[in-house]
Structure 1
Amino acid sequence: MTPMDMLLTRASTDHLAEPAPSDAQLSEILAAAMRAPDHGKLRPWRYVVIRDEARPVLAERIVASMKRMDAEAPEFKIEKRRKRFSTMPLILALGMHLRPDHKIPLWEQEMAVAAAAMNVLNALHATGFGGVWVSGDVVDDPVLAAELGLPAPHRLAGFLFIGTPEGEQHAPKRPDPAEFTASWTGKPVQFAADRT
């Protein structure tokens, strides 16, 4: 597989089974994250690895967070999240170590975290693993973030579910890049994707 083939065939999946990356494999995968753009070299990404017996513990923290964030959260949604967080082969909490008073704007710090997370997803695919980035209202819960070692002003950007893809994987059809691209010649551009 060429590097371009790898990029063009990557797709998120939550149909994941064991094995998850070993500690050594995960270290190499996370080394790819360190290559993300990072204005000011703030390195705002933080990764919390959740494996084995820690998964159901995290699942209960997720459920508690859901109830804090929405006292009327439907039971089916609570049980779905409990099961997913309890059974995924490996979970990587995506932390944002933010510096609100720094000259680098917060949005740039958050974008660096997102770029690093995308590098992780690409590195997973390149090494034969798979993953999906999940979020939801719990990422806005400062109590959950603190329980994971990210006290305010630090935050969660979500979680990566990681493992070995189950079954045959088909890359979903992606839109034509031409619909999202326009050449600027001095006047405001229009994008085909925005036309109704």
Structure 2
Amino acid sequence: MDAIEALLTRKSTALLEAPAPAGDDLEKILKAALRAPDHACLRPWRIILFKDDARHELGQIYAEALKKKDVDASDAALEKELKKPLRAPLVIAVIAKIQDHPKIPQSEQLLSAGAAAQNIMLASHALGFGGIWRSGDICFDETVKTRLGATGLDEIIGFLYLGTPKSHPPIPEFEMSDHIQEWKSV
């Protein structure tokens, strides 16, 4: 699939199964992340892959975080956290590694990490895989951040769940004029 087709047809897909990207495909996907726009070549991100049993360990981290936040969490709620990373055969955590820099503000570094995550999603789609970028409270949880090695100003950008789509839902159309305008001089 060419780049424009990938951009115009990518859609988040939550229902994923094996196989996940692996081997040369995974290497291409990760190399695509490294091509994200990055002022001063800081590479202000860290990417962590959770495959196979490592997904269970990530589930343990999620459950530990819930238990610390809510000591009365039900067994069902804890079980739900344990199973979250098993919704896809590959989970990739993207962490913005914010650095002190005299010319590159924190916001730009955060956006660069987001662009690396988007490149992963686009490259996965271009190679025939599907995925969904999940975020939410878990990304801001101090237990999760600490366990994944995020320190200081670091932020978890999201967890990218990748695999083979179980189905191909229609791609929604958007009205460009609702979101894009041309500047008109006054």
Fold match (TM-score > 0.5): yes
State yes or no: 1:178 paired with 2:185. Answer: no
Asked whether the equivalents of residues 69 and 138 of structure 1 are also in contact (C-alpha less than 8 Å), the reply is no
Taking structure 1 as reference, are residues 151 and 23 closer, same or farther at Cα in structure 2, changes over 3 Å only?
Answer: farther
Instruction: State the partner residue of 1:30.
Output: 30
Structure 1: gaps spanning 5 or more residues: 188-196
- Alpha-carbon displacement from aligned partner over 1:23-70 (angstroms, at most 9, x marks no partner): 432121011112211122211121101111111111011122133345
In structure 2, C-alpha distance between the alignment counterparts of 1:16 and 1:125, rounded to whole Å:
13
- Equivalent in the alignment of 1:153: 153
* CA positional deviation for 1:72: 6.7
Q: Distance in 1 between matches of 2:12 and 2:89?
A: 15
Describe the superposition over 1:61-112 as per-residue Cα deviations: whole angstroms up to 9, x where unpaired. Answer: 1122133345576765544332221342011011111114543111110000
* Residue 112 (str. 1) matches residue 112 (str. 2): yes
**1:54-133 mapped onto 2 (5 Å cutoff):** 54-69=54-69, 78-100=78-100, 102-133=102-133
Q: Report how far residue 157 of structure 1 moved.
A: 1.1
Which shows bigger deviation, 33-42 or 178-187? 178-187
SS of the residue corresponding to residue 46 of structure 2 reads strand
Q: Structure 2 length normalisation: TM-score?
A: 0.88
More divergent stretch after superposition (22-31 vs 104-113):
22-31
- CA-based RMSD of the aligned residues comes to 2.1
Q: Given residue 174 of structure 2, which amino acid in structure 1 is its aligned partner?
A: P
Partner amino acid, structure 2, of 1:182: Q
* Counterpart-to-counterpart distance in 2, 1:111 and 1:25: 25
Kindly indicate whether the alpha-carbon contact (under 8 Å) linking 1:142 and 1:152 is maintained by their aligned counterparts in 2.
no
Deviation at 1:173, TM superposition (A): 1.2
Tell me the TM-score normalized by structure 1: 0.84
Change (3 A) 1:2 1:57: closer
Instruction: Letter of the 1:162 partner, please give it.
Output: L
Identity, % of aligned pairs?
Answer: 37
Aligned to 1:191: none
Contact in 1 for aligned 2:2/2:126 (Cα 8 Å): no
Partner-residue secondary structure (3-state), 1:43: coil
Distance 1:154 1:60 in 2: 21
Distance 2:111 2:137 in 1: 19
Between 1 and 2, higher relative CO (CA 8 Å, sep ≥ 6) is seen in 2
Cα distance in 1 between the residues matched to 2:153 and 2:162: 27
Contact 1:49 1:93 in 2 (8 A): yes
